[in-house]
Amino acid sequence: TTDMVREGKILRHCVASYIERIAKGETAVLFIREKENPEEPFYTFEIRNEHIVQIKGFANKNPDQEIIDFVGEWKKEKLLKERKKVA
């Protein structure tokens, strides 16, 4: 919860309000970091039912195409591979 609160404060968005839903397993939230600055919040994204629901940066900034592409690649690598393991 500390990381969620910090993420929301620095990026000025409401990610901390998702803590209860995450604890209940209703959704998942992941943090995106720049390689050169791994400790600083950059973007946050939410996954629900294997779908990327939202990606937000500072003050709810929408992602640019580079971030959208990155998250799409991550989804292919992580979510789709996990689904194949289960099947």
Q: What is the mean pLDDT of each run of 10 residues along the chain (87 residues)?
A: 96 96 96 96 94 96 96 85 61
Rounded CA-CA distance 54/41 in Å is 16
Rounded CA-CA distance 55/48 in Å is 12
pLDDT in tens, 12-23: 999 999 999 999
| pLDDT the model gives residue 78 | 82
pTM of the model: 0.86
